[in-house]
Amino acid sequence: MSVFTPSHRPAFLDECLSSLLGQSFEDWEWLVLLNQGTRWRPEKDDPRVRLVVDDSVRGVGAAKRAACAAARGDILVELDHDDLLASDALLELVQAFDAHPEIGFVYSNCAQIRVDGSKDPEMFDLNYGWSYEDVEVDGRSVLMVNSLDSSPHNVSYIWYAPNHVRSFRRSTYELAGGYDASREIVDDQDLMCRLYQHTDFHLVPKCLYLQRIHDTNTQRNSELNARIQNETVELYETYVHANAMAWARRRGLLALDLGAAYNKPPGFLGVDQQDAPGVDIVGDVSEGIDLPDSSVGVIRAFDFLEHVPDKIGLFNELYRLLAHGGLLLSMTPSTDGRGAFQDPTHVAYYNENAFWYFTDKSLSQFVPEIRCRFQVSRLVTYFPSEWHEQHNISYVEANLIALKDGPRQGGLVAI
């Protein structure tokens, strides 16, 4: 097992080492990559501590990639240079990987601590699905945050994706392509999204990691934090489709492409009213498709919703088909532009507000026929290309999560 720590600030490295020396599992190495002129040595030599000095490394993605390349272990464990591992962290990780040989990524619950190591009482907004518990870690009282489920929606946003401790098999890491050396932020989200396409994630529901919060944390820098908010959405757009497909495939769930007579992506079953090349299921979705309840993991509806007059019947059926956490991924010409009305075959009209009735109980209660319950994963209006902008053809992207019986999804739920 290799614990890797890139560092350009050695202030807390002695404490990092102390938390490693206290591990109940002792077969580890600690690979410390010192860069940007940083120098540090432990007070006492330990053959398990390996120092690599490389001042040519610039950026967090490059530093983590170099550290993983230098590490020798089959399991790689990330330890930031100002954080601490619980004394049973490595043992819990080893046991999880041994018990689940098919799993390539293991994560845990964690807690925040202040600079002096004391309990940090700050909490994320509970309305977004977070929950907390007071626990003791190695005699230290901390506020543990319970990690969210590793669903496609959660993994695709850094806000809800697995936090520390994060560990992965080297084989899976290499298969996914490793850290992106060009990334200065959201390097972890980018890697996790690519790992997720190759392996399921396993949660150890214990506090195995203490994350130190101080003024030099990346998220405390207003300029960097603004970039993080923007880039996490960009990565979501890049990876959410592939993440949803990987999740569905691992759970034996189907993927449906609605209106599939044109441009059906690989891995989808095509659904259309008319038989044509690429169509696997012929039928009217609003009247019901002959598939079991909760048998579908992802539904793609690009330039489709506007062709179905019965909105309520359509969304009720899509909800019936989707498993809990499954995603409806839709792109529809919006009434905020000209595209909604220009096509004579369009018989239903959408903008962002049109999805409120399927995601907000305070509105759906006025339409008793609505039996579905969705949560917004992404709801935004934009021009897909310059051509669309020139012709004022805006699209509403509505990615919705089916809410049934299952783990809480990260984000606001309108009730």
Cis peptide before 165 (omega within 30 of 0): yes
- What are the pLDDT digits (tens) for 346-391? 999 999 999 999 999 999 999 999 999 999 999 999 999 999 999 9
Query: For residue 105, what pLDDT is reported?
Result: 98
Burial label for 382, CB within 10 Å (0-12, 13-18, 19+), is: exposed
Could you count the other beta carbons within 10 Å of the beta carbon of residue 82? 22
Q: Which two tokens stand for residue 116?
A: 């002096």
pLDDT of 222 above 80:
no
Beta bridge partners of 376: 400
> Under a CB-based contact definition with an 8 Å cutoff, are residues 278 and 313 in contact?
no
Q: What is the mean pLDDT of the chain?
A: 95
DSSP state of 68: H
Query: Residue range 94-118: average pLDDT?
Result: 97
Give residue 349's Cα distance to chain centre.
31
Query: For residue 260, what pLDDT is reported?
Result: 76
Query: For residue 217, what pLDDT is reported?
Result: 67
What pTM was computed for the model? 0.94
Helix (H, G, I), strand (E, B) or coil at 211: strand
Query: For residue 223, what pLDDT is reported?
Result: 82
Query: For residue 274, what pLDDT is reported?
Result: 87
Pair type for strands 105-113 and 166-169: antiparallel
- What are the pLDDT digits (tens) for 188-218? 999 999 999 999 999 999 999 999 998 766 6
Query: For residue 253, what pLDDT is reported?
Result: 98
Least Cα distance to 6 among 46, 54, 48 occurs for 54
pLDDT of 84 above 70:
yes
Query: Residue range 255-276: average pLDDT?
Result: 89
Query: For residue 98, what pLDDT is reported?
Result: 98
Least Cα distance to 149 among 409, 403, 378, 377 occurs for 409
Lowest mean pLDDT, pick from 142-151, 201-210, 222-231: 222-231
Beta bridge partners of 5: 32
Rounded Cα distance between 182 and 59, Å, is 7
> Under a CB-based contact definition with an 8 Å cutoff, are residues 210 and 142 in contact?
yes
Could you count the other beta carbons within 10 Å of the beta carbon of residue 371? 12
Could you count the other beta carbons within 10 Å of the beta carbon of residue 182? 11
Rounded Cα distance between 68 and 73, Å, is 9
Give 266's contacts (C-beta < 8 A, 6+ positions apart). Answer: none
pLDDT of 220 above 70:
no
pLDDT of 406 above 80:
yes
The CA-atom distances, in angstroms, between 71 and each of 29, 77, 190, 217 are 8, 10, 21, 25
Run of H or E residues at 92? helix 89-99
Query: For residue 336, what pLDDT is reported?
Result: 97
Least Cα distance to 212 among 285, 115, 297, 334 occurs for 115
Rounded Cα distance between 85 and 209, Å, is 5
CA angle 154, 16, 96 (to 5 degrees): 45
> Under a CB-based contact definition with an 8 Å cutoff, are residues 85 and 198 in contact?
no
Rounded Cα distance between 159 and 276, Å, is 42
Domains of the chain and any CATH numbers: 2-243 (3.90.550.10), 251-402 (3.40.50.150)
- What are the pLDDT digits (tens) for 35-70? 988 899 999 999 999 999 999 998 999 999 999 999
Beta bridge partners of 257: 270, 300
Run of H or E residues at 286? none
Give residue 362's Cα distance to chain centre.
28
Query: For residue 357, what pLDDT is reported?
Result: 96
Identify the band that residue 283 occupies on the pLDDT scale cut at 50, 70 and 90. very high
Query: For residue 216, what pLDDT is reported?
Result: 66
Run of H or E residues at 165? none
Query: Residue range 333-339: average pLDDT?
Result: 97
